[in-house]
A and B are shown apart, each in its own frame.
Chain A
Amino acid sequence: MRAIEAFEPPPPSKVNYINAQYGLKSWLLTKDHKRIALLYLGSITFFFFIGGLYALMIRLELLTPQGDLLQSTTYNKVFTQHGIIMIFFFLIPSIPATLGNFLVPMMIGAKDLAFPRVNLLSWYIYMLGGVITIYALLAGGVDTGWTFYTPFSTTFSNSYVVATGLGIFVNGFSSILTGLNFIVTIHTMRAPGMTWFRLPLFIWSHYATSLIMILGTPVVAITILLLAFERVARVGIFDPALGGDPILFQHLFWFYSHPAVYIMVLPSMGVVSELIANFSRKNIFGYKFVAFSSLAIAVFGFLVWGHHLFVTSQSVYAGMIFSFLSFAVAIPSAIKVFNWTATLFKSSISYDTPMLYALGFIGLFTIGGMTGLFLASLATDVHLSDTYFVVAHFHYIMVGGALMGYLGGLHYWWPKISGRMYPEGWGRFAALVIFVGFNLTFLPQFVAGYLGMPRRYHAYPPEFQVFNVLSTAGASILGFGMLIPAIYLVWSMRYGKHAEANPWHLPGLEWRTQSPPPTENFEHTPIVDWEAYEFAPPEEMEVVGRFRRELETA
């Protein structure tokens, strides 16, 4: 157990970004991308906790067929708020705003993001949006579903739609600013020699994510604004009585929100590409395919939103085209899965905690993506739409995919971020618990949904109870599993073994500086003369020694 080594005497401490300055003010006014990443890390963890409490309430209510624990109106608010918090305040910022913020400059050899002040501003905007939303939840909550469909949200709902919408509207700007900062940084701040095709795949996926953030988020911003005006002033744009079209809202909403699912999963794919290559000590198979598939996903992701409108008045022909394009968008995702698998083939894999999450990601994401194809087929969707099948589909991607990638990345870069090692034994144990809990929660929902159990009701016919009991049991295991890393990561910040500069012995730029890095990231601007994932061939596995030497001479 590595935990025992925690009591070794620490090496002589160096000045790094964490201890360079002291005091609350030095954190709240920081322009260092690494400190801002930590600010985000704290805040999204807070929101994740709130979202998790709502999930707990949902699962408890659904333990029995009768609507006994929560009234139907309360239940509506609970699942709505669960969705809003988890999607807008946890998953969308999760990897980009924490790991991305921390690593994008480091991986390309820059001192900071291009606009450090804008970066800090984005965190404040995020917090402002969060405060507004929490106010709305405390004042009485919102019950429209995270999708805010009109005319319910504009005319009939008696809840805090406008306040919540405002929170999301404000929050959107933080996402836009993050995306803008990443794009400009990746274009203009790469170190000498860091050509586009030497960029780690994490950077490519963040570039693609940023494209979606800047192209999609403004559309949902204007949509929410129009919705708010419609609700407050009855201007008619979504109101059929005045000639407006409620389906226009759905089009605008999904024009953002389908691409937004890729905002959630693309960064995770970037993390997984890093983990797969680095923990199998092999150059990634088909680097360019993986890199360009990220861009392809970003572009094609904008052309498939209509698959959420198959059961509306959308024309059959539009439906057919959207169905076809949805199948097409699965291709770049599949390319990634095949390339990861090919990378693993005949490599020397080490099963450290991050790698367990990465392998979990591949399996779960594949299930999530394949069931997406069932939903993207016009005829099957009529049967499956608005059932628990959909709920299981997107949780497989958003939790099984995005969240697993986030956890894997967090463990992988934890030594760099905190300067400490996490306890490996506990890490593997938690990864396993989470994997089991997750599958037990959501596999039964596929079946329940297929058999016809609709989503978003607080009561259900007794024949579905067995699936819901399994699901609630799984959710308990999952929740317990999530607590383990929360505890030992905090513990490791104080008691963990001190991490070396390059604990995994890898070639990436972020590992060629001390852990935790100094405020300026590198002592000298690095000059890159190696390819991405350039591992020595297995027979001369002296990588470790080689990087040691480089570090000493640097």
Chain B
Amino acid sequence: MIESPAATEHIQAHPALQHHFENMEQQREAGTLGMWVFLVTEIMFFGGMFLAYTLYRSKFPADFASASNHLDITLGAVNTGVLILSSFTMATAVWSTQVGKRQTQILCLVLTLLLGLTFLGIKAVEYYDKYEDALVPGQLIPGRPFGPEVAQEGDHDRHKLHLLPGATVEHVQMFYWIYFAMTGMHALHMVIGAGLITFLIIFSVKGRYDPEYHSPVEVIGLYWHFVDIIWIFLFPLLYLLGRHFEH
């Protein structure tokens, strides 16, 4: 908020300054705050699913543990690493825009995009595995309803579902619905993020951003970090918690 009349003087209007803002500082502030507010709505959106997870996990601990055991922890862990790395490259992209290093900025944005796509690729492999094992809940996939093969005692086939004592297939389905809903929603956000970063790359190459005008990079950076953080919560909740149940 600008309190002093002095601040309202036009300094030398930047070409990117929109007519209804007094100066670049106000415009940047509005953009950043706008993104933060948007992220709050995202937290509430995911919050509904986190609530469902918490409720059903506490209701069906053994079922959730059995279902979680079936997830591929290696792919999940690799993906976590990929995303953390992409957050680092994104942060570097923001920093290099602020200090005016165009080459680094473009390089880092491209790296971020590639890492994001890698994540989505690995996620697709995981989804395909679940599809093979008939673990996609309900009739989400027409013609291939939920119906995993349940392993008998002593059977170590990793494509079969290994139920812990007290667990039922229906409640495993509940886990998988929450898994698909949350990771699917997360993946959708990654796809949108990848699109936004592609935009940033195009405009960066055109030389649109400079130390005085970089709020798009900053704001999309915020979004990207947020999407990463969601995953940082999803990974332990879905892949790690309850694994020790298996003996």
B53-67 contacts to A (CB < 8 Å): 55-56, 59-60
Q: Which of B27-35, B158-166, B226-234 sits within the interface? A: B27-35
Tell me which of B34, B46, B137, B178 has the highest count of chain A C-beta atoms within 10 A of its own C-beta: B34
Shortest A217–chain B CB gap in Å is 7
A187 / chain B contacts, CB cutoff of 8 Å: 1, 33
Q: Contact size class for A?
A: 35 or more
A237-B174, A237-B177 in contact; A188/B5 too (CB < 8 A)? no
Closest to A213 in B: B41
B48 at the interface (CB under 8 A from A): yes
CB distance from B35 to the nearest CB of A (A): 10
Residue A282 lies at the interface, judged by CB distance under 8 Å to chain B: no
Segment from B18-26, B83-91, B117-125, B199-207 that makes contact with A: B18-26
Asked whether A215 lies within 8 Å of B174 as measured between CB atoms, the reply is no
Beta-carbon nearest neighbor of B141 in chain A: A233
Given A114, A183, A233, A243, which contacts B170 in the complex, CB threshold below 8 Å?
Answer: A243
Contact B174 A183 (CB under 8 A): no
Is there contact, CB below 8 Å, between A188 and B26? Answer: yes
Chain B, 127-144, contact with A by CB distance < 8 Å: what is the 0/1 string? 000000000011110000
B side interface size, CB within 8 A: 45
CA distance A331 to B107 in the complex (A): 57
Most chain A CB neighbours (cut-off 10 Å) among B3, B138, B139: B138
Is A140 an interface residue, CB under 8 A from the partner?
Answer: no
Q: Within 8 Å of chain B (Cβ to Cβ): is A548?
A: no
- Give the docked Cα–Cα distance between A531 and B8 (Å): 21
A242 and B51 CA atoms in complex are apart in Å by 18
Chain B residues with CB below 8 A from A215, complex form: 40-41, 44
Q: Contact at A111–B20, with CB atoms within 8 Å?
A: yes
Please determine whether A236 and B5 come into contact, CB atoms closer than 8 angstroms. Answer: no
The answer, among A112, A176, A180, A192, for a CB contact under 8 Å with B3, is A192
Q: Tell me, in angstroms, the Cα distance from A243 to B41 when the chains sit together.
A: 29
Is the Cβ of B48 less than 8 Å from the Cβ of A111?
no
B1 touches A242 (CB 8 A): no
Assembled-state Cα–Cα distance A195/B4 (Å): 11
- Of B29, B42, B52, B138, the contact of A188 (CB 8 Å cutoff): B29
Q: Is the CB of A180 within 8 A of B138?
A: no
Decide if B34 touches A235 in the complex (CB within 8 Å): no
Once the chains bind, are A243 and B171 in contact (CB under 8 Å)?
Answer: yes
Are the C-beta atoms of B137 and A190 separated by less than 8 Å? no
Asked whether B34 lies within 8 Å of A115 as measured between CB atoms, the reply is yes
- Asked whether B52 lies within 8 Å of A226 as measured between CB atoms, the reply is yes
The stretch of A4-12, A244-252, A332-340, A411-419 that contacts the partner chain? A244-252
Tell me whether B173 is interfacial, beta carbon within 8 Å.
Answer: yes
Instruction: Report chain B residues within 8 Å CB of A193.
Output: 3
Instruction: Using CB atoms and an 8 Å cutoff, list the residues of chain A in contact with chain B.
Output: 110-112, 114-116, 176, 180-181, 183-185, 187-190, 192-193, 195, 214-219, 221-223, 226, 229, 232-237, 241-245, 248, 252, 525, 527
